[in-house]
Amino acid sequence: MLLETERIAYEQISGRVSSGELLQLVIAHEQFAWLHRISEMVVQVDEMLQADEPILLDDFQKLIADVRTLIVPLETGNTFERKYYNALQREPGAVLAHAEISRFLTSKV
């Protein structure tokens, strides 16, 4: 959802890009750099789920705490917080996804 929002913003200025070009932009373009933190979290979750050993409660709790800290939209915050805030202002789907993950993060797991 956030990637699509950033893609739209990029394409409004620079014109349409293919999926391959988008991948290169996500990897190397400064406009997409703020999304790397979310990608890193996704990789961390994937690694936890694919590991042979069980997920330790402490590791799970740390991951949840890290995600809670990350997804704080602030108009005057750091780069990630500002871009996340702006994405939520522009994209209703991002708002719905944020609400869903926020509910999960506050539930008893």
Using alpha carbons, list the distances in angstroms from residue 71 to 13, 52, 62: 26, 29, 14
The answer, yes or no, to whether residue 1 has pLDDT greater than 90, is no
> What is the tens place of the pLDDT at every residue in 62-73?
999 999 999 999
| pLDDT at res. 109 | 60
- CA 83, distance to chain mean position in Å, is 10
**Where in the chain are the domains?**
2-106
Helix, strand counts (H, E) of the chain: 6, 0
Q: 53 burial class (0-12, 13-18, 19+ CB within 10 angstroms)?
A: exposed
Residues 26-83: tens digit of each pLDDT: 889 999 999 999 989 999 999 999 999 999 999 999 999 999 999 999 999 999 999 9
Per-residue pLDDT, averaged over 10-39, amounts to 91
